[in-house]
Structure 1
């Protein structure tokens, strides 16, 4: 009898255990704040590669500018050297003319013999003095030109060597730049793949705490991305929108750091739906800004943000035609209260 009473209790315990095991995967899939470990790795990698690519590009461009300066200097020195050589040729011809003039006026005879034979010895002496003076001037000019030629040749050689060294270094920088860009492109699409999975499941993986840039903005308002191409504007029509486009699109590659345009508080971080992964920030004066179609977020709901702070990374989630940032300015957190972002930012000193 005792064993028969244990069976219902044992069955109940087993059923509870199975229920807990069955519920755990669903519970795990809904966890958001701390479970973005893989996402964090790729997002951080993309952000670091983005910075590395920017530095490599800057070094590459500076190197080629310096190489152009050195190449121009080498060519200028080469031109000066050619001019010095031409002047030496002219001076040598002048010296030859002086020698021939001396020969025609009896330069092969001793000066004493020429004075005895001359009709006017005084004029002969004056002419002899002038010839010797001209001869000395030409000799000095040739020596000076030769020294200048040696100096210019050395400068030209140094400039040419510096130019060649720079071109070699720039070739190495170009190779490094290309390698970083390839790694960045691969990481971008890995990040986008994770973002697509999150958006399709409607699950936010939590903030990717990116290493923030040094914020040195003197203005209260900035553009949401640093480098961009403006695409669809506010109020434009299109097949992808039920009525009119509600914001301003910035065409940027996947993983581009997205900045808070001004100081405020994050009031929404959501995933899924037409906007994909999105953030809404509340600003003073009763305005809200939205950053949509992201690949990752770098803030959590309730966080305070500063102008220029990275709040996420651009992507291609949701109802999107390609990698870009969809940016809105609203008078309420919800869709349908938008104002044109371009004049709104312009009124705050940010001209797109």
Structure 2
């Protein structure tokens, strides 16, 4: 019969085992949340759509502005044509006046019948009167034509005024819509960046956001990393923000701007935290790597294949950043310390920047 003293130590052992089993799933769950927080509930996609809507609204507004300017130029052309016609009519009236005065002086103010009776050269007299009559007829025709042109121009100007009024109303509506979209976009951008800052602080990236890709295919095998940019800090530039020299090219763009893979390749790394904030590194054929840093959101997973021009992320100001921009590097290794000047590198591949 077994001794009862051997069963006593099993009690605390079993209790410790149960506690460990109860605690382990919770710890594992916490580690998983830290490694891959839930996505942003569609915020990145919403920012991307608002970005495109804002671009379309701006394009429509600018097109309307150009049409307004064309209408104003057309009105100016009509005014100049009308002034020219009136000037021609006035000149012919003056010519007719000179003819009339000359005939009056030649005839001494006598009626035509008296001039015929007293004239020594009837043919010359009749030719003179015919010339005056033709001049008067020409002036009358030009005056009538000028009046017709003036009526036509007035009608065209009236219709142009109506078109301009409609365009002004549409332009005002587009301006209001654009402002509303921009306001909503700015609010969404702020929220997107705050979530990016939280990810960087936690040292863990949220899951990849599946961004809707642009419908327009890229023209070549290489593209610029963003559109609508202003180039700011360049390669090799000195400054207090860097340990030695700037290792890439900065593109000043608003938060949420789609970031494109400059060429086809494979996602070598996606990371959050450190001076670069949220970053993506892509390996390209030929042994080159490109880095996209200070992002607000990522749209690809590590190991994923990407095409040239594919939206891989959204720009932001995460990490060691003083404002919204994309930090872009070209390297010969995945890590830091092997950066090349990206401007001539892209120019050699048919992508001039500026």
TM-score range, shorter chain: 0.7 to 0.9
Alpha-carbon distance between aligned partners in 2 of 1:212 and 1:24, rounded to the nearest angstrom? 35
Task: Tell me, in whole angstroms, the C-alpha distance in 2 between the residues paired with 1:120 and 1:246.
Answer: 102
Deviation sequence 1:82-106 (CA, Å, 0-9, x none): 2223333444455556566666648
Q: TM-score, normalised by structure 2?
A: 0.86
1:334 counterpart SS class:
coil
Partner of 1:268: 269
- 1:259-298, aligned counterparts within 5 Å? 259-298=260-299
Name the structure 2 match of 1:32.
Answer: 36
Alignment of 1:140-219 (within 5 A): 140-219=141-220
Alignment of 1:223-238 (within 5 A): 223-238=224-239
Q: Tell me which residue corresponds to 2:253.
A: 252
Q: Which moved more, 1:93-102 or 1:204-213?
A: 93-102
Query: With structure 1 as the length reference, what TM-score do the two structures score?
Result: 0.86
Contact kept, 8 Å, 1:88 with 1:146, in 2: the verdict is: no
Shift of 1:314: 0.6
Following superposition, the deviation at residue 215 of structure 1 comes to 4.8
Cα contact 1:204–1:271 (8 A) shared by 2: yes
- Could you say which residue in structure 1 is the equivalent of 2:328? 327
- On the 8 A contact 1:50/1:184 being kept in 2, the answer is yes
SS in 2 for 1:29: helix
- Alignment check: 8 A CA contact 1:215 1:309 kept: no
Confirm or deny: 8 A CA contact 1:215 1:308 kept in the other structure.
Answer: no
Q: Is the 8 A contact 2:292 2:326 kept in 1?
A: yes
* Cα separation, partners in 2 of 1:214 and 1:113, compared to 1, 3 Å: same
Secondary structure in structure 1 of the residue aligned to 2:225:
coil
Give, in whole Å, the separation in 2 of the partners of 1:112 and 1:231. 92
**Partners of 1:345 and 1:121 in 2: CA distance:** 91
Assess if the C-alpha contact under 8 Å between 2:34 and 2:202 holds in 1: no
Q: Check whether the contact 1:225–1:259 (CA below 8 A) recurs between aligned residues.
A: yes
- Distance (whole Å) between structure 2 residues aligned to residue 247 and residue 108 of structure 1: 98
In structure 1, stretches of 5+ residues that fail to align are: none
1:210 positional shift: 0.7
Separation (CA, whole Å) in 1 of partners of 2:130 and 2:309: 82
**Cα separation, 1, equivalents of 2:23 and 2:166:** 71
Q: After TM superposition, give the deviation of residue 117 of structure 1 in Å.
A: 4.7
Q: Tell me, in whole angstroms, the C-alpha distance in 2 between the residues paired with 1:233 and 1:275.
A: 16
Q: Is 1:77–1:156's contact at 8 Å kept on the other side of the alignment?
A: yes
- 1:275 and 1:282 map into 2 onto residues whose CA distance is 18
Give the match's secondary structure for 1:290. strand
Matches of 1:215 and 1:137, distance apart in 2: 62
Shift of 1:10: 10
Q: Distance in 2 between matches of 1:138 and 1:307?
A: 71
Aligned-partner Cα distance in 1 for 2:252–2:307: 23
Contact kept? 2:204, 2:273, Cα under 8 Å: yes
Unaligned runs of 5+ in 2: 1-7
**Aligned-partner Cα distance in 2 for 1:126–1:253:** 82
Q: CA deviation at 1:333?
A: 1.2
- Structure-2 change in CA distance of 1:345 and 1:97 (3 Å): closer
Q: Distance in 2 between matches of 1:120 and 1:302?
A: 110
